[in-house]
C-alpha cells in the first residue's frame, strides 16, 4: 500500500507545474488589480480545502470517488457527476499537453511539426496512463527526484542574478492593498489542487493521515510568490505583460556561466516537460479510471477491460488532436475557463464527500 | 512362490523391459549358499567403486541375505520402492536396484562428472571470495551451506523437465523470506511443462510471466556469496543441477547495480562506485541520443564552442547524424559480439582491425566525425560497468530506443523516452515486489519497514 509520502508527491507535483502557463499569466495580468491579495486568499482557501478533503477521505480507506459515490448517492446522480469529473480531468491533462506542444514549438524545436510532437506525447501518455495507480505514484516520486533539484537550481539561479530587478518587485508590492480578484484566486488555487487526484489514488491509500499541513501551505505560498514575482523581476512591471509563457521567457534570460549547457531554458524545459508529462499521465489515468467505473465490468474478462481502456484512450487522443486547432488565444481562454470550473468542482466534490459520509454513517446507525 | 516374491519379479521384469536396449545395463544375481539377491544398475551413471565397496563386498562378507537387505535398506540415501515407475526414475538418476524376496530397494551410487570449483568468470571482483558455483548441485549446496550456518536455511527439492529430470533446489531463510514470494515461485515451478531444462537462464525465462519484458526480473548469478547475501535479505535462491548458475528472486532494479565488493570497500568508496555505475548507464543510454538531438535538431542547446566543434568534426560526413550514430553503434556491437565468439588465438585480430580501421581510417576518410568515435567508445565502455550481465545486455538494447526517439523528435523524443521508461520500470513487479522506486527514501525507513514487514 502507498505510504503517506505519496500524497505529498501529488501535492508537490501541482505546485511545481503551476509555474507552467496559466497561473503566472493570470496572476501577472492582475498584478495591479489584486493578484497579491488573491494569493493570500488562495493560500487560505487551498489549505482549508486540503484539510477538509483529507479529513473526509480518511473515512473512506481504499475507496475511490466512484465507489464512494456509488455507495451513498443514487445512481442517476452519481453517474453523470462522475462523467463530468472525468471530462474535467481529461481536459486538465489535455491542456497541459496542448500548451506543451506550443511551448516546444516556440522554444525548443520550431522545425518539428506540431502533430509529430503531439503524437510523441500521446504515445507515451496513452501507454503510461494504463499503468496501475500505485506504480504511477512510484513513477511520480522518481520523476520528482529528478526534476526538483533542477527546478530549485533554476529558481535559486534566477533570484541570485545581480540583474534581477528588486525595484520592480517592490513596485508591484505597493499594489498589494487591493481587493482580491476571482480570476486570480481560481488560478492560484490550482497550486493547492494536487490533492484532488486522490479521487482515484485513494484506492491505494489505506487511511491517509496528513501530518504537517503547514508545510504544504508554506510550500504552496512560497511557490506562488516565486511564480508571481520572479518574472516581474526580470521583465519589469510593464514589460512582463508582453510574454505569453512568462516563466519560459524568464528561464531563457538566465545564463549558466560554467556548464556545457549555457542557456537555463533547456534545463528548465527538461524539468518542466518531464514533470508535465507525468502530470498529464496522472490526469488521464484519473479520467480513464472514472470513465471505466461507469462502464459495466464483467469480472474475469481482462480482454473486455483492455478493449474498454483502448476505446477510452483513443477517444482521449482524438479529442486532444481535435483541440490542436485552437490557437494560442483560445487555448488561454479555455485554460482560464477550466481553472474556474476546476475550482468549483473541487468545492462541489468536498461537499459531496461530506454528504456521502453523512449518508453512510446514518445508514450504519 | 509367495505373492510378494511374485510382485518383485514382475516389477524387475517390467523394469528390464523398459530398459531393453540399454547397452550399459548391468543385471546380475548375487548368490551365496544362504540365498540370493538380484542387482540392477546402469553403468554409465553409477560409480563402480561405490558399487563394489558398498553393495557387492558386504553381501559376500555378511553371508546372510536378510541382514544384508536390511543393511542396504537402512543405508543413508536408500529408498524402498513398490512402484515400478519410481524405481525406473531412480535407476536412471544413478541408483542401483537390489531385490530380495518381494522387496525392492534403491541404493544411491550416483557418479556425477562435474568440473571442479572454478574461479568466477562473468562476475569478477577485485577483492573477496572468488569461488564460482560449479555444475554439480551437491557441490553448490555445500558452497552455500558453508557460508550460511543457520538452521533457518531451508532447502526444498523438486524435479523439472520430463526428459532431463533436472534436480532443482529452492533455498530460503525461513525467518526472513516473504512467504507470498515463495508460494508464487512454487506454484510457477509446479505448473512448468518442459522436456529439457539445462540452464538457469532458461528457468528464469519460464518463471517470468511477462513475455515482452526488457529488464531481467531475477538475478542469474555464479557467485555463492551473492546467493548467501541475498538469502540473508530474505530472498529465495533456486539452484539447478548441471548448471553453474543460481537464480535469485525477487530482484529489483537496484540489485543489478550492486557488485559484491561494494560491501568490502570503504563506505564512501562503495557509494562512489555505485554512483559511477548509474552514471555509466545514464551515459550509455543518453549520449548517442543526445548527440543526434544536438547535431540534427537543437545545436543551440550546448555552448556555441561545443556546437561548432561537433559541427566541424562532422564537416566531411556525408549523411545525417542519425545514420552516423546507428552505423557506428552497430559496428561496435559487431566488435563486441565477435570478440566474444572468436577463438582466443585470433581474438586480438578483431580488436586490432576494429580499433584501427574503424577508429583511424573511418575518420580519415571523412565517413565518421572524430567526436563520434570518442562517443562510441564511451558508450561501449560505460555499458560494461553494470556488474550483472543480464542487465548490461538489456541496457545495450535499450539505447536504440532512445536513439530512434531522438532521431524522430530530437530532445523532446529523448524526454518522452525517459518518462516512458521510468514509468515502465515503476510498473514492473518482480514476484509482487515493486521493481523500481526511489530507493534512497526507502533506505531511510528501512528499519521501520522491517518491523512492519514488507513494503
> Where do the domains of chain A lie, and which CATH numbers do they carry?
5-364 (1.20.1740)
Same domain for B403 and B282, yes or no, is yes
Pairing state of beta strands B219-221 and B236-240?
Answer: unpaired
Residue B354: inside a domain, yes or no? yes
Residue B116: inside a domain, yes or no? no
| Residue contacts between A and B (CB atoms, under 8 Å) | 103
Q: Is the CB of residue A264 less than 8 Å away from at least one CB of chain B?
A: no
Higher pLDDT, residue B78 or B416: B416
Residue A49 binned pLDDT confidence (cut-offs 50, 70, 90): very high
**Predicted confidence (pLDDT) per residue in B333-344, tens digit:** 888 888 777 777
Same domain for B286 and B419, yes or no, is yes
How many structural domains are present in chain B?
A: 3
Q: Which of B198, B226, B251 is the last residue of a domain?
A: B251
Q: Which of B251, B286, B301 is the last residue of a domain?
A: B251
Q: Is the CB of residue B427 less than 8 Å away from at least one CB of chain A?
A: yes
Same domain for B231 and B274, yes or no, is no
Distance CA B22, CA B18 (A): 9
Same domain for B87 and B189, yes or no, is no
Instruction: Kindly state the cell numbers that stand for A261.
Output: 549547457
Within the 246-305 window of chain B, which residues sit less than 8 Å (CB to CB) from chain A?
297-298, 300-304
Query: In this predicted structure, which of A180-184, A298-302, A311-315, B56-60 has the lowest mean pLDDT?
Result: A298-302
Same domain for B292 and B358, yes or no, is yes
Residue span of the structural domain in which B424 resides = 267-440
> Which of these, B430, B427, B452, B428, lies nearest to B442 by C-alpha position?
B452
Q: Is the CB of residue A274 less than 8 Å away from at least one CB of chain B?
A: yes
Sequence-distant (6+) residues with CB within 8 A of B181 are B235, B236, B249, B250, B431, B432, B433
Query: Is the pLDDT at B443 greater than 70, yes or no?
Result: no
Residue of A nearest to B419 (CA): A274
Query: Is the pLDDT at B350 greater than 80, yes or no?
Result: no
Residue B27 has what pLDDT? Answer: 83
Residue B366: inside a domain, yes or no? yes
Sequence-distant (6+) residues with CB within 8 A of A147 are A16, A271, A272, A274, A275
Residue B4 binned pLDDT confidence (cut-offs 50, 70, 90): low
Same domain for B232 and B95, yes or no, is no
Residue B452 binned pLDDT confidence (cut-offs 50, 70, 90): very low
Distance CA A134, CA B430 (A): 15
Q: Is the CB of residue B306 less than 8 Å away from at least one CB of chain A?
A: yes
Residue B123: inside a domain, yes or no? no
Residue B390 has what pLDDT? Answer: 84
Same domain for B145 and B49, yes or no, is no
Residue B326 has what pLDDT? Answer: 92
Nearest by CB: A128 against B409, B415, B420: B420
Query: Is the pLDDT at B115 greater than 70, yes or no?
Result: no
B356-375: average pLDDT: 83
Residue B439 has what pLDDT? Answer: 63
ipTM confidence score: 0.90
Distance CA B234, CA B215 (A): 22
Distance CA B230, CA A83 (A): 48
Nearest by CB: A281 against B303, B423, B438: B423
Same domain for B332 and B221, yes or no, is no
CA A118 vs CA A113, A125, A273: distances in Å? 9, 10, 13
Residue A118 has what pLDDT? Answer: 93
Record: contact B423-A131, CB cut-off 8 A? yes
As a whole-number percent, the residues of chain B with pLDDT over 70 amount to: 93
Residue B420 has what pLDDT? Answer: 93
**Distance in Å, alpha carbon of B452 to nearest chain A alpha carbon:** 12
* Full-model pTM: 0.85
Q: Which of B251, B275, B309 is the last residue of a domain?
A: B251
Same domain for B208 and B300, yes or no, is no
Same domain for B373 and B303, yes or no, is yes
Cβ count within 10 A of residue B348: 11
A109, A251, A267: best to mutate for the B interface, most B CBs within 10 A: A109
Cβ count within 10 A of residue B453: 7
Residue B453 has what pLDDT? Answer: 41
Question: Contacts of residue B425 in chain A, CB cutoff 8 Å?
Answer: 139
Question: Contacts of residue A262 in chain B, CB cutoff 8 Å?
Answer: 302-304
Q: Is the CB of residue A167 less than 8 Å away from at least one CB of chain B?
A: no
Whose cell is 563402480? That residue is B48
Same domain for B30 and B144, yes or no, is no
Residue of B nearest to A272 (CA): B415
**Predicted confidence (pLDDT) per residue in A254-284, tens digit:** 888 888 888 888 899 999 999 999 999 999 9
Residue B65: inside a domain, yes or no? yes
Same domain for B383 and B312, yes or no, is yes
> Which of these, A3, A22, A10, lies nearest to A219 by C-alpha position?
A10
Core vs surface per residue A317-351: b (16+ CB within 10 A) or e: beebeebbeeeeeebbebbbebbebbbebbeebbe
Residue B404: inside a domain, yes or no? yes
Whose cell is 510378494? That residue is B4
A119, A134, A135: best to mutate for the B interface, most B CBs within 10 A: A135
Question: Contacts of residue B441 in chain A, CB cutoff 8 Å?
Answer: 5, 141
Residue B120: inside a domain, yes or no? no
Residue B451 has what pLDDT? Answer: 42
Record: contact A120-B423, CB cut-off 8 A? no
Residue B190: inside a domain, yes or no? yes
Residue A90 binned pLDDT confidence (cut-offs 50, 70, 90): very high
Record: contact B426-A139, CB cut-off 8 A? yes
Amino acid at each position: 500500500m502507498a505510504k503517506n509520502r505519496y500524497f505529498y508527491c501529488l501535492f508537490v507535483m501541482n505546485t511545481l507545474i503551476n509555474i507552467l502557463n496559466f497561473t503566472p499569466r493570470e496572476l501577472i495580468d492582475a498584478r495591479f488589480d489584486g493578484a497579491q491579495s488573491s494569493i493570500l486568499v488562495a493560500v487560505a482557501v487551498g489549505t482549508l480545502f486540503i484539510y477538509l478533503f483529507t479529513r473526509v477521505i480518511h473515512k473512506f480507506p481504499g475507496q475511490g470517488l466512484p465507489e464512494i459515490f456509488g455507495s451513498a448517492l443514487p445512481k442517476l446522480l452519481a453517474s453523470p457527476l462522475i462523467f463530468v469529473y472525468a471530462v474535467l480531468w481529461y481536459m486538465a491533462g489535455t491542456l497541459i499537453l496542448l500548451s506543451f506542444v506550443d511551448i516546444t514549438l516556440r522554444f525548443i524545436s520550431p522545425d518539428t511539426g506540431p502533430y509529430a510532437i503531439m503524437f510523441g506525447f500521446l504515445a507515451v501518455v496513452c501507454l503510461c496512463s494504463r499503468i496501475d495507480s500505485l506504480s504511477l505514484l512510484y513513477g511520480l516520486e522518481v520523476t520528482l527526484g529528478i526534476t526538483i533539484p533542477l527546478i530549485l537550481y533554476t529558481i535559486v539561479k534566477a533570484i541570485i542574478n545581480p540583474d534581477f530587478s528588486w525595484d520592480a518587485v517592490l513596485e508591484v508590492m505597493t499594489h498589494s492593498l487591493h481587493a482580491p480578484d476571482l480570476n486570480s484566486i481560481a488560478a492560484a488555487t490550482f497550486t493547492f489542487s494536487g490533492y484532488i487526484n486522490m479521487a482515484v489514488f485513494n484506492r491505494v491509500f489505506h487511511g491517509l493521515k496528513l501530518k504537517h499541513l503547514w508545510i504544504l501551505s508554506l510550500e504552496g505560498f512560497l511557490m506562488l510568490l516565486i511564480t508571481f514575482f520572479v518574472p516581474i523581476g526580470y521583465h519589469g512591471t510593464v514589460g512582463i505583460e508582453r510574454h505569453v509563457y512568462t516563466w519560459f521567457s524568464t528561464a531563457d534570460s538566465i545564463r549558466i556561466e560554467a556548464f556545457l549547457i549555457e542557456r537555463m531554458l533547456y534545463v528548465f524545459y527538461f524539468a518542466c516537460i518531464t514533470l508535465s508529462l507525468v502530470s498529464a499521465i496522472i490526469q488521464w489515468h484519473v479520467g480513464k479510471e472514472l470513465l471505466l467505473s461507469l462502464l459495466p465490468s464483467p469480472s474475469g474478462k481482462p480482454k473486455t477491460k483492455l478493449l474498454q481502456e483502448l476505446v477510452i484512450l483513443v477517444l482521449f487522443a482524438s479529442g486532444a488532436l481535435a483541440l490542436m486547432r485552437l490557437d494560442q488565444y483560445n487555448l488561454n481562454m479555455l485554460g482560464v475557463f477550466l481553472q474556474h470550473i476546476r475550482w468549483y468542482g473541487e468545492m462541489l466534490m468536498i461537499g459531496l464527500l461530506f454528504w456521502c459520509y453523512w449518508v453512510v454513517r446514518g445508514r450504519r446507525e | 512362490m509367495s505373492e510378494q516374491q511374485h510382485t518383485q519379479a514382475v516389477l524387475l521384469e517390467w523394469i528390464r523391459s523398459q530398459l531393453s536396449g540399454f547397452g550399459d545395463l548391468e543385471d546380475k544375481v548375487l548368490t551365496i549358499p544362504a540365498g540370493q539377491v538380484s542387482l540392477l544398475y546402469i553403468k554409465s551413471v553409477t560409480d563402480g567403486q561405490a558399487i563394489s565397496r558398498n553393495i557387492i563386498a558386504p553381501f559376500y562378507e555378511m553371508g546372510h541375505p536378510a541382514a544384508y537387505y536390511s543393511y542396504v535398506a537402512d543405508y543413508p540415501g536408500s529408498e524402498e520402492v513398490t512402484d515400478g515407475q519410481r524405481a525406473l526414475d531412480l535407476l536412471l538418476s544413478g541408483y542401483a536396484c537390489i531385490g530380495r524376496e518381494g522387496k525392492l530397494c534403491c541404493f544411491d551410487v550416483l557418479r556425477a562428472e562435474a568440473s571442479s570449483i572454478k574461479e568466477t568468470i562473468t562476475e569478477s571482483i577485485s577483492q573477496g571470495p572468488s569461488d564460482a558455483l560449479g555444475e554439480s548441485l551437491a557441490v553448490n549446496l555445500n558452497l552455500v551451506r558453508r557460508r550460511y550456518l543457520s538452521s533457518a536455511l531451508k532447502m526444498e527439492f523438486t524435479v523439472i523437465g520430463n526428459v532431463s529430470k533436472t534436480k532443482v533446489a529452492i533455498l530460503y531463510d525461513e525467518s526472513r523470506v516473504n512467504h507470498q514470494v515463495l508460494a508464487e515461485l512454487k506454484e510457477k515451478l509446479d505448473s512448468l511443462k518442459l522436456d529439457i531444462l539445462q540452464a538457469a537462464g532458461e528457468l528464469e525465462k519460464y518463471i517470468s510471466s511477462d513475455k515482452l519484458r526488457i529488464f531481467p526480473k531475477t538475478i542469474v548469478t555464479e557467485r555463492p556469496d551473492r546467493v548467501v547475501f541475498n538469502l540473508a535479505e530474505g530472498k529465495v535462491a533456486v539452484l539447478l543441477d548441471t548448471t553453474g548458475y543460481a537464480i535469485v528472486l525477487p530482484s529489483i532494479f537496484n540489485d543489478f547495480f550492486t557488485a559484491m565488493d561494494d560491501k568490502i570497500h570503504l563506505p564512501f568508496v562503495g557509494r562512489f562506485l555505485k554512483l559511477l555505475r548509474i552514471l555509466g548507464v545514464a551515459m550509455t543510454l543518453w549520449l548517442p541520443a543526445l548527440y543526434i538531438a544536438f547535431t540534427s535538431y537543437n545545436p543551440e542547446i550546448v555552448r556555441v564552442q561545443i556546437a561548432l566543434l561537433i559541427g566541424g568534426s562532422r564537416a566531411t560526413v556525408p549523411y545525417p547524424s542519425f545514420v552516423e550514430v546507428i552505423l557506428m553503434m552497430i559496428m561496435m556491437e559487431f566488435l563486441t559480439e565477435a570478440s566474444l565468439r572468436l577463438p582466443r588465438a585470433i581474438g586480438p585480430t578483431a580488436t586490432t582491425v576494429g580499433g584501427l580501421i574503424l577508429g583511424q581510417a573511418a575518420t580519415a576518410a571523412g565517413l565518421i566525425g572524430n567526436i563520434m568515435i570518442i562517443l562510441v567508445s564511451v558508450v561501449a565502455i560505460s555499458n560494461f560497468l553494470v556488474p550483472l550481465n543480464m542487465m548490461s545486455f538489456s541496457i545495450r538494447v535499450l539505447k536504440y530506443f532512445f536513439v530512434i526517439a531522438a532521431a524522430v523528435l530530437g530532445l523532446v523524443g529523448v524526454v518522452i523516452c525517459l518518462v516512458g521508461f521510468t514509468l515502465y520500470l515503476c510498473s514492473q513487479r518482480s514476484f509482487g515486489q515493486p521493481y523500481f522506486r526511489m530507493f534512497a527514501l526507502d533506505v531511510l525507513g528501512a528499519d521501520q519497514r522491517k518491523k512492519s514487514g514488507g513494503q
